Homo-oligomer: A and B are copies of this chain.
Amino acid sequence: MNYKSLVIIVLSIATIEVSIAQVNATVVDDFKISATTQEGKQYPQVNSQGMLRVQITAPEAKSVKLDIGGKKYDLVKDSKGVWTGESAPQDEGFHYYQLNIDGADVPDPGSMYYYGASRWGSGIEVPAKDQDFYALKNVAHGQVREHIYFSKINNTMRRCFVYTPPGYDGSNKRYPVLYLQHGGGENETGWSSQGHANLIMDNLIAEGKATPFIIVMDNGTWTRPVQSAAVTQEQREKGEWPPKGWADQFSKTLIGEIIPMIDATYRTVAKQSHRAMAGLSMGGMQTRVITLANPDIFAYVGMFSGGSINADDIKNAPQFKEKTKLLFVSYGSHELDNRREGFGGDPKANTESLQKEGLKTHFYISPSTAHEWQSWRRSLNEFAPLIFK
């Protein structure tokens, strides 16, 4: 090799290093293992800017990408076949993501797995400044119970998760109940897994901020029963089948089976005054339909990123205004920034207009979050202290 070649190589290396430095100029190199990284794994990691860094060994791959928040980020391969790369900064809180290896969408083998976006897959926790309210602490803890049951209405086995507050076992006390629903593409595991509903309640109760209550988290996804033969001819003739949609079918199951079962199994106060319903996104819209139609059943209503109720809605819902003790509506601030049609107008104006009608309402905005779990964790944390008082 002559002198000239060596100069060219050195200059080329220098150029490469400069361009890497330029790309990484804004990346703060304080990446740490995330709360959602599997024990014993070194990746995924998150830095103080909320960037997600992933790493995977794929020596024969041509292309590896990180797919989060609707964008794909290219990973870079080192000489040993290890690919590493980062996303742009993400909002504080929890996000679903995946990897793409030579065209295949796969979970990150380093992450824990969650049900969302209609699949079990990877999730990442970006530490939030207010993460203390859902942290696992040395306080008295309630339990999350897997409750399996047969549903006659759906002619299938189902399950819900039931949070019983600290002290439930070993007492004779009766408790109010919140029926708390997940969003579209999620299921009955969401609120206690990525939502940390149990830890939020344990911490609120430990600080004396919330009345202890039971939470029932069932599956609100509308699916056709396994055996549609179970539907009678009479039901078809009456137009009761097929059901009119997700809210109608879940309403039948909730009112007809879940609530009576919970009241029969747990030490509840089986009264309207001691019953609440809330949900996120699709679960918020289900809450809207079901509580407007059943003011005799629910006294407290929470809609998290799932529409709103306006004065016209109340005119068409007899007794809702008289019997509802609180209507709570919330959104992530980024949702309001980018508000689309279909949310039923301006949810803040709608909610405040009802106060003039004499309904007690509370509108909450989660700062700097979008249509994601951090908005909903905060919404539960704001809603829980306001109910059953």
State the A residues within 8 Å of B (CB).
Answer: 38, 40-41, 56-64, 81, 98-99, 101-107, 109, 112-113, 118-121, 136-138, 141, 143-150, 157, 162, 169-170, 192, 198, 265-266
Contact = CB atoms under 8 A, between A and B. Distances in A.
Given A101-B102, A106-B106, 8 more contacts: A38-B119, A40-B118, A58-B101, A99-B106, A101-B106, A138-B157, A145-B145, A146-B198
Nearest to A150: B138
15 contacts: A38-B119, A57-B105, A58-B101, A81-B103, A101-B101, A101-B102, A106-B107, A107-B109, A113-B120, A138-B157, A141-B148, A143-B145, A146-B192, A169-B266, A170-B265
Task: Count the copies.
Answer: 2
B143 A157 contact: no
Nearest to A104: B58
B109 A119 contact: yes
Contacts of A169: 265-266
B143 A103 contact: no
B143 A146 contact: yes
A198 B150 CA distance: 16
A57 B104 contact: yes
Contacts of A99: 106
Given A62-B60, A63-B60, A146-B143, A105 B109 contact: yes
Contact of A58 (B102, B113, B198, B265): B102
Contacts of A104: 56-58, 61, 64, 101, 109
A165 to B, nearest CB: 13
Contacts of A144: 145-146
A62 B107 CA distance: 19
Nearest to A83: B104
Contact of A103 (B58, B103, B147): B58
A119 B41 CA distance: 9
A195 to B, nearest CB: 14
A112 B120 contact: yes
A62 B59 CA distance: 11
Nearest to A98: B109
A99 B103 CA distance: 14
A92 to B, nearest CB: 23
A143 B102 CA distance: 43
